């Protein structure tokens, strides 16, 4: 019997580790290909890892609540014959084709087929290119994690047992706290604020929401319009859609929009709309509703919270006017959408200025001053505002 070492697969550039929650198979138990082996908790999402082979679970290398690094082996399986990339037909993956060069590199670096399937491809139809696999190997070999003794610490204080209660942070809150401190240490945060007139959008939604829901079964939310306008602004100012690697600026071709979503327990998660520029307004409405619904019921897949290139946070949903959102690493900017308010405003018309009631909103744009100066960060916020104000209230959906 040969042995197969099961690695913890990559689940995104910003995810370096995962916590073992519980094993679903016992040592010595037979395992079939695609059987679920273990539940893990990554950055904000719980998921399962299945077996890529038929065999027997020989040994668990991590116990529940222990943390494993991406790429490290978490279990040993006994299999009938040696398992290698060469033994797998090219057609085995229903998702994509692997070129001989990529397969050779993978075999040389000890990357098995299951791990290869987790690598994000930038080629046609999601194909993994030579550049993709070399980048994955570089990240895997050079991942820098915050040491446990440098994690967020709370100063010991005296607790009055009669008047105070100690509440232990849950796992997600600990991870969020660590990421927030990490982002502040990495990025030089600057925030610009812009006010936008969204009267046309509010009137349009009021006019269309009932018929749209009756026709499609979907709720017509304004977030789809905000996403559409942000995407248009990114196309106009693509240097917002970047990340930083040392002294190199990485310009993203794809526009993947993250939506910061509050969970019922008060924690936060950021599902991602992949290739947001490929959707029309109806498509955005459907995917946003689906992602938010599944986020709140803990049904997101790990790949659905990774790869974002720009993030939007709807702070208006809990009554806030504006704020200073923290950048979601490794991105370099984030926009907070404030509460829509009715305001008395001066309206410019060909016949002169008038005073009327308008629906106004504040946009808060935080950006990384290492690579984005005020002119770009401020212009981007203004560009989004202009697209919101130009929205056609006669748009049919």
Query: Could you say which of 87, 170, 210, 373 is catalytic?
Result: 373
Specify the CATH number for 2-141; select among 2.60.40.420, 2.40.50.100, 3.40.30.10, 3.40.640.10.
2.40.50.100
Homologous superfamily assigned to 182-389: Chloramphenicol acetyltransferase-like domain (3.30.559.10)
DSSP classification of residue 65: T
Helices (H), ranges, the chain: 100-108, 113-117, 130-141, 171-186, 199-216, 223-236, 281-296, 374-389
| Nearest of 322, 346, 345, 328 to residue 271 by alpha carbon | 328
Cβ(289)–Cβ(235) below 8 Å: no
pLDDT band at 366 (very low <50, low <70, confident <90, very high): very high
Q: 242: which 2 tokens? A: 């970047």
Which is more confident, 324 or 9? Answer: 324
Whether 373 is a known active-site residue: answer yes
DSSP classification of residue 190: E
Query: Could you say which of 35, 189, 359, 369 is catalytic?
Result: 369
- C-alpha torsion angle, residues 305, 311, 314, 320 (rounded to 10): 130
Domain ranges of the chain: 2-141, 182-389
* Rounded mean pLDDT, 345-365: 92
DSSP classification of residue 325: P
Which pLDDT tens digit goes with each residue over 48-103?
888 888 899 999 999 998 988 887 889 999 887 754 554 444 434 445 678 888 88
pLDDT of 117: 72
Which pLDDT tens digit goes with each residue over 187-213?
999 999 999 999 999 999 999 999 999
Q: Other CB atoms closer than 10 Å to residue 353's CB: what's the count?
A: 8
Q: Other CB atoms closer than 10 Å to residue 153's CB: what's the count?
A: 9
The pTM of the full predicted model, rounded to 2 decimals, is 0.67
Whether 256 is a known active-site residue: answer no
């Amino acid at each position: 019997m040969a042995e197969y070492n099961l690695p913890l697969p990559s689940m995104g550039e910003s995810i370096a580790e995962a916590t073992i929650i519980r094993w679903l198979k016992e040592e010595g138990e037979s395992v079939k290909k695609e059987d679920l082996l273990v539940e893990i908790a990554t950055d904000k999402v719980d998921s399962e890892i299945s077996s890529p082979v038929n065999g027997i679970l020989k040994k668990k290398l991590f116990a529940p609540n222990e943390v494993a690094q991406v790429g490290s082996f978490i279990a040993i399986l006994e299999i009938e014959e040696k398992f290698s990339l060469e033994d797998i037909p090219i057609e085995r993956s229903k998702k994509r084709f692997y070129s001989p060069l990529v397969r050779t590199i993978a075999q040389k670096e000890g990357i098995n087929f299951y791990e290869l399937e987790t690598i994000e491809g930038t080629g046609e139809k999601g194909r993994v290119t030579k550049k993709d696999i070399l980048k994955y190997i570089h990240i895997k070999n050079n991942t820098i994690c915050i040491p446990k003794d440098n994690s967020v610490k709370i100063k010991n204080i005296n607790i009055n047992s009669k008047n105070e209660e100690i509440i232990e942070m849950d796992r997600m809150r600990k991870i969020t706290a660590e990421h927030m401190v990490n982002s502040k240490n990495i990025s030089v945060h600057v925030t610009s604020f812009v006010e936008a007139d969204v009267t046309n959008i509010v009137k349009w939604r009021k006019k269309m929401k009932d018929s749209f829901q009756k026709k499609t079964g979907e709720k017509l939310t304004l977030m789809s319009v905000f996403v559409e306008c942000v995407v248009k602004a990114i196309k106009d100012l693509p240097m917002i859609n970047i990340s930083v690697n040392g002294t190199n600026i990485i310009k993203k071709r794809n526009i993947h929009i993250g939506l910061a979503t509050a969970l019922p327990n008060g924690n936060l998660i950021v599902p991602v709309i992949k290739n947001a520029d490929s959707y029309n307004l109806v498509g955005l409405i459907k995917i946003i509703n689906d992602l938010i619904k599944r986020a709140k019921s803990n049904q997101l897949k790990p790949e659905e919270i990774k790869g974002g290139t720009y993030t939007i946070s709807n702070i208006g949903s809990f009554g806030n006017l504006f704020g200073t959102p923290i950048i979601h690493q490794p991105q370099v900017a984030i926009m907070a959408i404030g509460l829509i308010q009715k305001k008395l405003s001066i309206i410019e018309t060909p016949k002169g200025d008038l005073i009327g009631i308008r629906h106004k909103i504040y946009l808060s744009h935080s950006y990384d001053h290492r690579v984005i100066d005020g002119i770009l960060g401020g212009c981007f916020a203004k560009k989004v505002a202009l697209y919101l104000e130009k929205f056609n209230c006669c748009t049919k959906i």
